Amino acid sequence: MFVVDKNRESVLTDQLSAINENYVKKMRNNDERFGLLTGSRKFLDFRSYTYSRNTSKKLILVHFSDRILNQKAEELGMRVRV
């Protein structure tokens, strides 16, 4: 979740879209849909809302797919024990 000035909203959303596109390019199997989001952005999605206390601010709520979290963990070499 981010709170940004209305004038800076497009900078943040452009960065989030670029992150999503980078992960789309890394997809190993384009047919597999497991762990992806259902909207147009499959790995990282966001929604923008007017911040209730201050109308010059926007609240950006970010959604991560399971797939992006798993891929990032693999990149970092994380081990998870359940």
Q: Domain coordinates of the chain in residue numbers?
A: 2-76
How do residues 29-69 score in pLDDT, each as one tens digit? 767 777 788 888 888 999 999 877 767 899 999 998 888 88
pLDDT for 8 beyond 80: yes
User: Considering the entire predicted model, what is its pTM?
Assistant: 0.75
pLDDT in the model for residue 28: 73
What 3 state SS string does the chain have?
CEEEEHHHHHHHHHHHHHHHHHHHHHCCCCCCCCCCCCCCCCCEEEEEEECCCCCCEEEEEEEECHHHHHHHHHHHCCCCCC
Q: State residue 81's pLDDT score.
A: 66
